[in-house]
Amino acid sequence: MNEPEPHMTDQDTEAAAATDTDASAAQQAIRRQAERIKARELRQAYNRLEADSSVSTPEKAILDAMATAIVDEVVAAPVSVLDRADAYDDDTVETALELFDPTDE
């Protein structure tokens, strides 16, 4: 596994992980990318909704739970495949990383 340098950013660290064929690192990179997308989309949704009216804390909780459920469903298949990937199955890990491109924001 590529060890990150102390001065590396999260993006640099994930780029290093993307070149690594470790299934666990790939799962983590995919999950982090999905969580970044979720956070960005929730911010945009809150901004749009608040432009028309205020969004209550319970409403935000509902939106957040929905977004979390979507992320969980989207990453479930690749994470499951990576769980079953043989430690030497570099192609499976590389394909999963290419499909979910954890270094692309």
18 within some domain: no
Residue 50 structural domain: 23-100
Instruction: Give CA–CA dist 78/96, Å, rounded.
Output: 6
Task: Give the count of domains, the chain.
Answer: 1
61 within some domain: yes
Contacts of 18 (CB under 8 A, 6+ apart): 29, 97, 102, 103
34 within 8 A of 71, measured Cβ to Cβ: yes
pLDDT tens digits, 11-66:
545 544 444 458 888 889 999 999 999 999 999 999 988 887 888 889 999 999 99
60 within some domain: yes
The pLDDT, as a whole number, for residue 41 is 94
CA neighbours closer than 13 Å in the CB half-sphere of residue 71: 19
